[in-house]
Structure 1
Amino acid sequence: MSLERAVYKTGKYVCERLETDESNRRALIKVRAVLKHPTQGDLHNPKQVDVPLFHERKALAEFEKTWVPLSTLRPFEEECPSYLDSLEHAWNTQFEQLEEDGSDWAKKSQQNLIELRNEYRFS
């Protein structure tokens, strides 16, 4: 089985391609690991807090299937980490980056991530 890296919305994942739809230039993938946790907030108003809905975005679940644009797929040639380890690493990386940012948007994003951490159930 060959693995690929895919971008879905604002997250990045290690995945297995299950199907290719050339006519719509997309691929059906199955998630194996998380490389970058999705960004929190309103994507149409980046880094803004005063928006109608400040979205909480979860990472795709292990083995979740979704369609992604073919243009986002790249080979992944490293060893695939476990899903839970990769999720925790991606969560920690994003949380630390937000800590350095320190803006109101970053603080609100960290609140969302803390809620998600409870759902993800890692220490």
Structure 2
Amino acid sequence: MLYRFAHKSGVYAVEVVDDTADQILVKVVQVIKHPKQGDLHSPNEVEGVFFHERKALSLYEKRYTTKSKLKPFEGDVQEYTVSLQQALTKLERDLQETDSAYSRAALQCLNNLKVDYTRQYKVDFK
């Protein structure tokens, strides 16, 4: 069974690997929403902050969480790289709707991440 798991500013489809009394170990199988770029404590700011480049959790990457953070996954199951490409494209489109310093910096981060993802998954991310 798959669950929806929000981690930092990204959202993923995960499956449970190990369920102990207070912690659940999950592994990532699909990206639903790519993490936001930039400083999460100063959203949409570029000046005077450290602008973070945030990668999505990798395929089969594991994280501990609690039951309360897992929601039922509703949607089509997709191959990880297909879901990552879709999440990237959606975030890019959202950023392209506004012409701001933040959008330009975030789009540059996403372009850098696409190069990394292409190397990591041997798939051309456009």
With the length of structure 1 as denominator, give the TM-score of the two structures.
0.90
Corresponding position of 1:9 = 8
Q: Closer, same or farther in 2 for the Cα pair 1:106/1:21, shift >3 Å?
A: farther
Residue 50 of structure 1 pairs with residue 47 of structure 2? yes
Query: Structure 1 residue 104: deviation in Å?
Result: 1.0
Report Cα offsets for 1:19-66 as digits up to 9, x if no partner.
23443xx42210000000000000111110013310000000000001
Corresponding position of 1:83 = 80
Query: Structure 1 residue 68: deviation in Å?
Result: 2.9
Q: Closer, same or farther in 2 for the Cα pair 1:45/1:21, shift >3 Å?
A: farther
Whichever residue aligns with residue 89 of structure 1, its letter is: Q
Query: Structure 1 residue 81: deviation in Å?
Result: 0.3
**Could you tell me how far apart the structure 1 residues matched to 2:74 and 2:93 are?**
26
With the length of structure 2 as denominator, give the TM-score of the two structures.
0.88
**Could you tell me how far apart the structure 1 residues matched to 2:82 and 2:15 are?**
18
Corresponding position of 1:108 = 105
Report the secondary structure of 1:101's partner residue. coil
Runs of 4+ in 1 over 3 A off after TM superposition: 20-23
Gaps of 5+ in 2: 119-124
1:87-102 matches, cutoff 5 A = 87-102=84-99
Residue 19 of structure 1 pairs with residue 18 of structure 2? yes
Query: Structure 1 residue 102: deviation in Å?
Result: 1.9
**Could you tell me how far apart the structure 2 residues matched to 1:80 and 1:3 are?**
9
Tell me the matched-pair count: 120
**RMSD (Å), alpha carbons:** 1.4
Whichever residue aligns with residue 6 of structure 1, its letter is: F
Q: Among the aligned pairs, what percent are the same residue?
A: 38
Gaps of 5+ in 1: none
